[in-house]
Every structure is written in C-alpha cells, then in structure tokens.
Amino acid sequence: MKAQIIDGKKISGEIRENIIKEVNDLKNSHGIVPGLAVIIAGDDEASSVYVSMKEKSCKNVGFYSQAYKLPQNTTQSEIIDLVEKLNQDPKIHGILVQLPLPKGINEDIINSHILPSKDVDGFHAVNSGNMLLGKPSFVPCTPKGIIELIKRTGEEINGKHAVVIGRSNIVGKPAAVLLLRENATVTICHSKTKDLKQHVAMADIVVAAVGSPNLITGDMIKEGAIVIDAGTRKIDGKLVGDVEFDKAVDKASWITPVPGGVGPMTITMLLQNTLKAARDQCK
C-alpha cells in the first residue's frame, strides 16, 4: 500500500482561511491590522521571489505589509538603524530580515536588534532560548509547519522515535526541539554521522532538512514511517527533495511531496506568527 500524501498546500489553505477570519475579527473589534515588515538587502533572485510571495500572502489575508529593498552595498549599521526604526513603528508587529544578507553582514547581530516581541521568524536568542525551555516564544516558521503537518496526519508523536537529518539553526535544530517537546525520542543526524541508513531505518518519524537531493533513499525508510521532506534544491529547473520520493512512498504511511509539502506551510506559519505578534502587542 502506498503512503498517504500530506498535502501541505491544502492544509496551508485551510489555516489561511482561519487567519483571514481572525484578522477580520481583530479589525472589527479593536481596529488593529497586523503589520509585517520585510527587509531584503542585495540582489539575490530567489530572495526577491520569496519576498514577493510574502507580500502577496500578506495582502491575501488582510495584513499591512512593507518591503524594504536595500542595495547590495548596504552596510550593517544601516540595516540595524532600519530595524530600530521598525521596532518603534506601531503599525509594524513583525519584522523579518530575508537571508542571505550581503557578504560582511552578520545575520546574528542583525537579528539581535529585532525586538523579541516582533521577531516573527523566531531567530532571536530570547525566542530560541524560550523555545528550548518550553516557554512561550515565536517558533521558526518551517519547523513549526513541520509539526503541524505531522499532527494533521492524526498520528501520535508522543513516544515515537523521530530522526532529524540536518542541524541548521533554521530547520534541523528547532525541529528536533519541537519534536522533543511533543515527547518524541529524538535522534539528530548530520554530515559527521556514521551509518545514516541505520539511524533512519529505526525512525517512526523522519524529518529530512539538508538540501541534498535523494539523500534518503527508499530502502532506508522503516515500514509505516511518517516522512517529512523539508530539504529542497533545484536540479535542471525542477525542485527536488532530500527523500527519494518514488521509492519511499511504497514504505511510508504518510509522506510530504516536493513541491507541495513543507514549502507552502512556511509562509503560512509566518502569517500565523505575525497575527500572534499583533494580538500580543495590542493587548
């Protein structure tokens, strides 16, 4: 029996419908419009496309959005000045700095200047620390979307063995923390892991977040596992995931496709975080 497909596009659409209702309630009850500011520096084509998608998504759910497109030669101090200005802007509830930044600019320093209450990407050290401690915080959008997709299968995370492949600060590490918070037993694999196949073969839940096409082959997957593919790369103009989908689909119970799985959830979780920020700041 083939795996059931976890349709990230459909699930994302359902969540956005709820966001639209909540935004209308916020406007009608309190006159508040959630506002998101996105800062992009440089001329990275993929980043420009992503920022345009965020602007369009904000408009579709009724948010106020503002994109600040800065030149390649923008200095670190200029970005910090803009962040500080947005920190004080009451119309802006969430601030996001699009990565990658131009060479010579330290993204950790930039993120440290965003108010934790406006850090809707969940990258500030305060939010990262609170997430690790299990306290209220903004959670990075892709890992947050991953947990939502797993929960939408109706399967229990509690007590399951989850294997996360990848240890980036953006996806791998926070995904492992969130799975741990759901009472999974978590193994993190990375480039120095010996015998990756052995670890993956024991996983009830596999989260692949490397960006290495077909790194996880079908024969690695445990029968009946839930497989979440969060690693993407373009090959010959086609988006390819970390998981060998055509083979893994015959072993897994649930699996995300690429594209159409984790990807649509990332911006939706950003919208959800921004809505939360607006509520929290305007209580």
**Both structure tokens of 274:** 């921004």
Catalytic residue among 118, 119, 121, 272: 121
Instruction: Give φ, ψ of 39 to 5 degrees.
Output: -110, 125
Catalytic residue among 98, 119, 173, 222: 98
Determine contact, residues 41/74, Cβ cutoff 8 Å: yes
- Name the residue among 82, 52, 55, 74 with its Cα closest to residue 66: 55
The rounded radius of gyration (Å) of the Cα atoms in the chain is: 19
Q: How far apart are CA 76 and CA 110, in angstroms?
A: 8
Q: How far apart are CA 126 and CA 137, in angstroms?
A: 8
**C-beta atoms surrounding 187 within 10 Å:** 16
Is 81 part of the annotated catalytic residue set?
no
Sequence-distant (6+) residues with CB within 8 A of 127 are 116, 119, 137, 138, 139
Is 121 part of the annotated catalytic residue set?
yes
Catalytic residue among 54, 118, 144, 251: 54
Determine contact, residues 68/38, Cβ cutoff 8 Å: yes
Cis peptide before 102 (omega within 30 of 0): no
DSSP E strands in the chain: the ranges are 4-5, 35-41, 64-70, 94-97, 161-165, 185-189, 205-208, 226-229, 232-235, 238-241, 254-255
Is 4 part of the annotated catalytic residue set?
no
Q: CA 114 → CA 48, 79, 168, 238, distances in Å?
A: 21, 11, 21, 35
Q: How far apart are CA 252 and CA 107, in angstroms?
A: 37
Annotated catalytic residues are 54, 98, 121
